[in-house]
Structure 1
Amino acid sequence: MLHHASPTSLAGVDVWDGHGALGPSTVSWGPARPGIATDAVVTEVEPAEPSARFEGLSLVPGLVDTHVHLIGNAGGASSGFLTWPLVTPPTEQVLHGLAHARRALAGGVTTLRDLSADEVQFSLARAVEAGLVEAPRILAHGMVSMTGGHGDMFVPPGVDPRLRKPTADGVDACRALVRTHARAGATGIKIATSGGLLSEGDAPSWRNHTSAEIDAIVDEAHALGLLVAAHAHTAEGIRVALRAGVDSIEHATQLDGDLARQVVAAGLPIAPTLLINDAIAEGSVPVSAEQRETAAALVATRDPAFRAAAEVGVDFVLGTDANGFHVAFGDQMRELRRMGDVFGWSPERVLRAGTSRAAAAIGRSTQLGRVAVGAAADFVLLRGRPWEDAAALDPDAIVAVVARGRVVAGALPAA
């Protein structure tokens, strides 16, 4: 089990608590349960005199990325996005996933939600929870895809069908796959209500599953206490997700005014994944001409529509779709700054999207994304005040990252 000597109290540091600025405060933390050293919670947040030790620094909650894909080549390769998982054994994949997770941790991200998980991510999540490896906490959602659906189309057609990820066709099979994921350790379920961009031979306009199948997936997941995240690029995909009663929408690239109002009424968060769709549309990452053209058409009207949606109250939260190929683990702060530019947000609203609002989107609002008594001891100490100037949201400004009460990146200033 990993243990690092770490202070358990910071006195006189400037604190932003996930909602607003507290000013100079003393923040203390300790074990969540006696004798359990793998986690820690905040035990005190009280006003204090400012300390010269923290001059020019501030403390904010650890970031929460609600949409990532941990399994991919972490060795810096720019090609092989589709083929690498097919030629790399799971025992090796988990090490690459850990490398990605640790890069995110160094960038101030203390919680990751993987939205296409299987036994590799489930195993990694358990190892993190047991304190065996140092990484952000990992929430792993199992994918329920149909044959020929968005999830299934990441495997090239010439590959032996026995190497494909499980799919579900028909109501009973959909329920069974949800149960299988739950038994394996999933903390949620991912579905697709439209096609996608990076899946080979796919098209955003394709229907994925019938209404009866989607209803069965959502019903079964909710019966097992699992949240459902819906991948949806198109307006029709968003409508299907809304009607089905999912818990979050991923991408929502063709969100329009009427749908935005429905999303607000339903109280659904959206992870807009701006950087990856920008990169695909611009061709600044390795993609096919067809993928670039499809993405460019999708994002052509996205930014003004998203800004209007933000103005009517759509709850956009941090979700990068980081996979190591097209968006790096460590790009989360850059995604937040891009969100601020597109939505016309204040720096404080930007920061909430990556902390308290993102935590609420994954059902962890009392535990994560905040600096408060009883919440997880997950913090980022950095130069500047990011709630006043979003430019301070920069990995280069990070002084130290504390996760589960331990310093896991950088170092705290000497007392």
Structure 2
Amino acid sequence: MTTITIEGVQLWDGTAARGLSTLTVTAGATEGVVESIAQAGVDSGLSVIPGLIDTHVHLIGNASATPSGFLTWPLVTRPEERVLHGLAHARRALAGGVTTLRDLSADDIQFSLRRGLDAGVVEGPRVLAHGMVSMTGGHGDLFTPPAVETRGPVADGPDACRALVRHWARAGADGIKIATSGGVLSVGDKAAWRNHTGEEIAAIVDEAHALGMRVAAHAHTPEGVDIALDHGVDSIEHATVLPEAQARRIAAAGITVAPTLLINDRIAQGVGANEEQAGKAQELVASRDALLRAAVGLGVEFVLGTDANGFHVEFGEQMTEVREMARILGYGPERALQAATVRAARTIGRDDLGRLEPGLPADLVVLRGRPWESIDDLRVENIVAVVSRGRLVHGRLPG
């Protein structure tokens, strides 16, 4: 058991500012908790906030400086190497103040990485991993060129969909991801295309919920959002075109949306994208900002989800995404921070995260500035130290 004391810092605990505080945290073999918070100390000029939570990432991609193609790299890189690249991405996110990541297209690589992190074999953030259930020729399947015979698993028909959900559950998945519309980076489809039939989606969601797993739905279009809501999913990913009718339905359902702003803007600008991909993104983002801001007024709750993959959005850019959420959605500083902490924690089913209270996990960031007063202070260059699971994992603590 090790103990860390962080003295004389301005504390924002995930819900509100608590003033000048001293925190004591302990770390056991694999976990750490906040032991106490006292309203005391000599002001160090620094602040503490909970570690950020990114609810939508893709850890497995090229983390090296060697140039590669986004779609081709996984096909020419052995699984053993991909684990190391995923760990590198996870650690870059950790240094950027992100202590929890949810991977939304996971397989045995991410499951193995998560187990190693949880066991303390290697140091890194918490990782939750959702297995993808895609159909033949669907959004997930179309990341693999047709000439490549070795493909990830797909499911066609309700029984096959149930079987794939069970496969991922046995492999160690925390949840399931589906697509209820086409995608942007997948090659050869359109965002408006349907993925899976209603019967197939009903089977996936029912089986996942029966096995205690949440379902995240990739949906860019109004039709895709409606399909996802019709079948009781637990979160919406993207919702790039979100008219009033769908916004009202999401608000009434009480589920969250990860708007993935940076990645869609960059693809629309042609960054790391071919003409087809850029064109799809341009069409989607043309009306996005006004619709999303209106959705806030209708009660839609947005949370941090970057779709970071190390190619279009880097791990460590999460704070940039939060600032962009504040700008586009009209969030004040505290509401923007909550989208990346306590509210994001509820999205992933971890109400114990995203807050700093005695007895809760000790995941926190020490930084210069007060981002709950000025969101512009939420910058990687302002980070002084990161504590994950009660351990100092980046930087130096005050004193």
Q: Is the 8 A contact 1:79 1:286 kept in 2?
A: no
Q: Which residue of 2 aligns with 1:225?
A: 212
What CA RMSD, in Å, does the superposition of the two structures yield over aligned residues? 1.1
Asked if residue 114 in structure 1 is aligned to residue 99 in structure 2, the reply is no
Shift of 1:211: 0.4
Q: Matched residues in 1 for 2:19 and 2:65: separation?
A: 41
Q: Is the 8 A contact 2:9 2:48 kept in 1?
A: yes
Shift of 1:13: 1.6
Listed as ranges, the matches of 1:72-221 within 5 Å are 72-160=61-149, 163-221=150-208
Q: Is the 8 A contact 2:62 2:68 kept in 1?
A: no
Q: Which residue of 2 aligns with 1:374?
A: 359
Shift of 1:38: 1.0
Q: Matched residues in 1 for 2:227 and 2:53: separation?
A: 27
Q: Matched residues in 1 for 2:390 and 2:37: separation?
A: 14
Percent of counterpart pairs with the same letter? Answer: 63
Asked if residue 18 in structure 1 is aligned to residue 14 in structure 2, the reply is yes
Q: Which residue of 2 aligns with 1:344?
A: 330
Deviation per residue, 1:68-92 (Å, 9 max, x gap): 0000000134541111111101000
Deviation per residue, 1:125-166 (Å, 9 max, x gap): 000000011111100000000000100000001111xx1000
Letter paired with 1:25:
S
In the alignment, structure 1 segments of 5+ residues that lack a partner are none
Secondary structure, aligned partner of 2:181:
coil
Q: Matched residues in 2 for 1:98 and 1:357: separation?
A: 25
Q: Is the 8 A contact 1:401 1:407 kept in 2?
A: yes
Q: Matched residues in 2 for 1:159 and 1:326: separation?
A: 23
Secondary structure, aligned partner of 2:64:
coil
Q: Which residue of 1 aligns with 2:251?
A: 264
Q: Matched residues in 2 for 1:45 and 1:226: separation?
A: 34
Letter paired with 1:201:
G
Q: Which residue of 2 aligns with 1:314?
A: 300
Letter paired with 1:393:
L
Shift of 1:345: 1.0
Q: Matched residues in 1 for 2:108 and 2:14: separation?
A: 33
Secondary structure, aligned partner of 1:173:
helix
Letter paired with 1:155:
T
Q: Which residue of 2 aligns with 1:301?
A: 287
Residue of structure 1 aligned with 2:377, choices 385, 388, 392: 392
Q: Is the 8 A contact 1:112 1:136 kept in 2?
A: yes
Letter paired with 1:294:
K
Letter paired with 1:396:
E
Letter paired with 2:42:
S
Letter paired with 1:379:
L
Shift of 1:30: 2.4
Residue of structure 2 aligned with 1:28, choices 4, 24, 29: 24
Deviation per residue, 1:349-373 (Å, 9 max, x gap): 11111000110110111x1111012
Q: Matched residues in 1 for 2:391 and 2:299: separation?
A: 36
Asked if residue 234 in structure 1 is aligned to residue 234 in structure 2, the reply is no
Q: Is the 8 A contact 1:194 1:207 kept in 2?
A: yes
Letter paired with 1:140:
A
Q: Is the 8 A contact 1:77 1:325 kept in 2?
A: no
Q: Which residue of 2 aligns with 1:47?
A: 39
TM-score, normalised relative to structure 2: 0.98
Alignment size in residue pairs = 399
Secondary structure, aligned partner of 1:8:
strand
Shift of 1:12: 2.6
TM-score, normalised relative to structure 1: 0.94
Q: Is the 8 A contact 1:78 1:325 kept in 2?
A: no
Q: Matched residues in 1 for 2:309 and 2:90: separation?
A: 10
Letter paired with 2:54:
D
Secondary structure, aligned partner of 2:367:
strand
Q: Matched residues in 2 for 1:213 and 1:118: separation?
A: 21
